[in-house]
Structure 1
Amino acid sequence: MRIHQIFFNIFILLCLINLNINIDVATCHCLDHQQFMLLHLKDNLVFNPATSKKLVHWNHSGNCCQWNGVTCSMGHVIGLDLSEEFISGGLNNSSLFKLKYLQNLNPAYNDFNSSIPLEFDKLKSLRCLNFSNAGFHGQIPAQRWGLFYWQHVDDLLYMLVPQFGFVYEQHRGQRYRALRWIV
């Protein structure tokens, strides 16, 4: 009877290991259309390959969820760190705005030297955004973007936020305290 228990425990252990491996593969493998959008984004960004530490390594081979600067969940891109890639130019008409599961975006320390794209409102899952020294200028359309849903918005001090006082007062005391950092 004891031998049956040992074999049963080994069987359960092997099943759990197999299940764990299958879950890991499902959550870590980049979906083809996600990889296509990232490569399209890369192709439309102006950056210096000699100074790039992330974008220069993005290519058709390999799993995009393992690329430097990319975070995935269930094969969908949920995080994108483009910081310090010395990107110049804008983000307009970019496949970036088709990454509908994107939650965290860090375009900090680049030189976009453009107005803030209105297409940011397409990123409905976006919760964290770091604009520090990204080179964007102009107004943030707070109502259009739904800023009060964001959990963290970094370094927007030099940008004007229309109706900011109203948005903040409406949501003060709730989990949207990060808005206090916007002036």
Structure 2
Amino acid sequence: MPDSVDRILAQWATVRPNLDVSAMGILGRLSRLTRLLERAQSDVFDAHGLHAGEFDILATLLRTDAGPRGLTAGALSDSAMVTSGAITNRLDRLVAKGLISREIDPENRRTVRVALTAAGAEVIEGALVAHVENEERLLSSMAPSDRKQLANLLSGLLSAHESSDGQTN
């Protein structure tokens, strides 16, 4: 079944038949899917009173099993799927919501430690379950073997661009 990018590719084939726009098809689909999937994920985060970046910070604290001591702001930045520049504003919002604590490390006064509060742990547990269910729903049209193949292909592409960009997170 044709998708919205097929129409664009057909138009290019008509006006520029000698131009190979196959890369445009792949990147156009990735871009369109990113917008659609982020919107669907945002609906789940909104239902839990979170933005995507806030979810990622809470999920990072949960998945790294940071415990009551939490993570340093630097370790959180390294482990999160957001840029370090975006961390401070998100931390401020999460502190204001009572979902995390941000404390000076008593062992090193130059270090700030970030930890989930009890309320934060409750919110992220509920949001995480809903998020995973939503992701499964979003990929339900794909057979398991296709999902595995797509994951491998995207991993290879991401790895190539992260290594050329110097990013590792």
TM-score, with normalisation over the residues of structure 2? 0.28
Flag the structure with more relative contact order, 1 or 2, with Cα contacts below 8 A and sequence separation at least 6.
2
TM-score, with normalisation over the residues of structure 1? 0.26
| Higher share in helix | 2
